[in-house]
Amino acid sequence: MENITLAPEIYRAFGLDRNRFIAKRFGHGYINRTYLLQSSNEESYILQRINTQVFTSPEAIASNYRLAADFLKRRYPDYLFVAPLLTVDQKEYCIWNDEYWRLLPYIPHTLALDAATAPEQAYEAARQFGRLTRYLHDAPLHQFQVVIPNFHNLTLRYSQLQEAIRNAREERREYAEELIEGFLDYSSIAIHFEEIKTEKSFPDRLIHHDAKMNNVLLDEKTFKGICVIDLDTLMPGKIISDLGDMIRTYVSPASEEERDFSKIEIRESYFEALIQGYLDELRDLLTPVEKEALFYAGLFMTYMQGIRFLTDFLNEDIYYPIQYPEHNFYRAKNQLILLQQLIAKQDTLQAIIRKHLH
């Protein structure tokens, strides 16, 4: 991994001597550009350039971080919440050449896995996401800003798919005809989301909104959960977003990039582990309608991600980066198969949920 040269003004903004640090690219994140700053005396930091194309209001992110950090420090002083370090001007970020930069503490002796390779890892990750939501339960929800409007609004995503179908080039529409019909056959998932949105006893909570495995730090030796990271999308939402993303990304050994669809399967032991981990933190907090929606959460996020890939394919691949012409088509097909497998195992998975609700 080659060393990177960063502007001295960025180091100065955070009161760091750049001659003491080596900067290297860090992690596999697609959104923000992340660097590890290392010094000879083991003092290390994470430096990030915020992607303002995606996060158009860095001020909102900073405000949410500050609100959460202050609340958790008061209520749960021993909880490790990885918040940005202040600049010498006491700000959460510095602006250099119209770019937003922030500095975070580096947590040693930890690792972030791109995928769970044991049910225990799924349990630890799910428990960390559940704990964050539980600890923030009494935080002033109305003070937290929506960082990305309509981020998990399935109603909007479904209407965007319909528009893309209408406007797509005939060649693309015909190529994806069977896939389009496949997703439209499950439109009841979008209809149910409308019911959830308007159900008063289905509350908004502070959730992570990107509950993938690599957004949790685990102890590098024991694989016990340490803390949640990358909280840019921390904002009010429904628990089906976090739980659904865990189901979508932990349960199958095949990622959304897999083109050999025979590798897509529902690993019941991973499903049970993540359900148990999440409910070990939130079981007593959830309302009856939230408990009823736990299985639906997986359908919700898998369906939404699938139609987003399909929409992008029909729109000539304007959003997700692609490596080959049919990339988004195969991503969408992958998610449709995962969705169908979740539905096929509904009775078994619902029984697992019932077991851990009590």
Residues of the chain with CATH 3.90.1200.10: 119-357
- Reported as type and span, the H/E element at residue 225 is strand 225-228
| Alpha-carbon span 356 to 321, nearest angstrom | 39
Q: Averaged over 311-316, what is the pLDDT?
A: 98
| Alpha-carbon span 113 to 249, nearest angstrom | 12
Per-residue pLDDT at 3 exceeds 90: no
Q: Quick one: what percent of the chain has pLDDT higher than 90?
A: 87
| Alpha-carbon span 144 to 139, nearest angstrom | 9
Domain 119-357 indexed as CATH 2.120.10.30: no
Please give the pLDDT value at position 28. 63
Q: Averaged over 264-292, what is the pLDDT?
A: 98
For 108-162, what is each residue's pLDDT tens digit? 999 999 999 999 999 999 999 999 999 999 999 999 999 999 999 999 999 999 9
Q: Which band of pLDDT confidence, cut at 50, 70 and 90, is reported for residue 349?
A: very high
Q: Which of 29-38, 84-93, 195-204, 291-300 has the lowest mean pLDDT?
A: 29-38
Contacts of residue 97, defined as CB under 8 A and 6 or more positions apart, other chains included, come to 7
What is the 3-class SS of 121-144, one letter each residue?
Answer: HHHHHHHHHHHHHHHCCCCCHHHC
- State how far Cα 241 lies from the chain centre: 9
Q: How far is CA 278 from CA 264, 310, 320, in A?
A: 23, 30, 30
Contact between 100 and 50 under an 8 Å Cβ cutoff? The reply is yes
| Alpha-carbon span 332 to 338, nearest angstrom | 10
Q: Averaged over 77-92, what is the pLDDT?
A: 95
Residues of the chain with CATH 3.30.200.20: 3-106
Contact between 229 and 216 under an 8 Å Cβ cutoff? The reply is yes
For 223-250, what is each residue's pLDDT tens digit? 999 999 999 999 999 999 999 999 999 9
Interstrand relation of 3-4 and 99-105 (parallel, antiparallel or unpaired) = unpaired
| Alpha-carbon span 292 to 304, nearest angstrom | 19
Percent helix / strand / coil, the chain, rounded to 5: 50, 15, 40
| Alpha-carbon span 299 to 305, nearest angstrom | 10
Please give the pLDDT value at position 1. 59
Please give the pLDDT value at position 267. 98
Strand partners, 320: none
Kindly report the length of the chain. 358
Please give the pLDDT value at position 205. 98
| Alpha-carbon span 2 to 198, nearest angstrom | 51
Exposure string (b/e) for 33-51, b if CB count within 10 Å is 16 or more? bbbbbbeeeeeebbbbbbb
- State how far Cα 26 lies from the chain centre: 18
Contact between 316 and 172 under an 8 Å Cβ cutoff? The reply is yes
Please give the pLDDT value at position 33. 86
Q: Quick one: what percent of the chain has pLDDT higher than 70?
A: 98
Per-residue pLDDT at 2 exceeds 80: no
- Give the HSE-up count for residue 150: Cα atoms under 13 Å, Cβ half-sphere: 8
Q: Averaged over 251-268, what is the pLDDT?
A: 97
**What is the average pLDDT score of the chain?**
95
* CATH class of the 3-106 domain in this structure: alpha beta
| Alpha-carbon span 5 to 26, nearest angstrom | 14
For 11-70, what is each residue's pLDDT tens digit? 999 999 988 999 998 876 657 889 999 987 778 999 999 888 778 888 999 999 999 999
- pTM strictly above 0.75: yes
Please give the pLDDT value at position 89. 94
Q: How far is CA 230 from CA 34, 203, 211, 214, 317, in A?
A: 11, 24, 10, 9, 26
Q: Would you state the structure tokens that stand for residue 352, as one six-digit string?
A: 């697992």
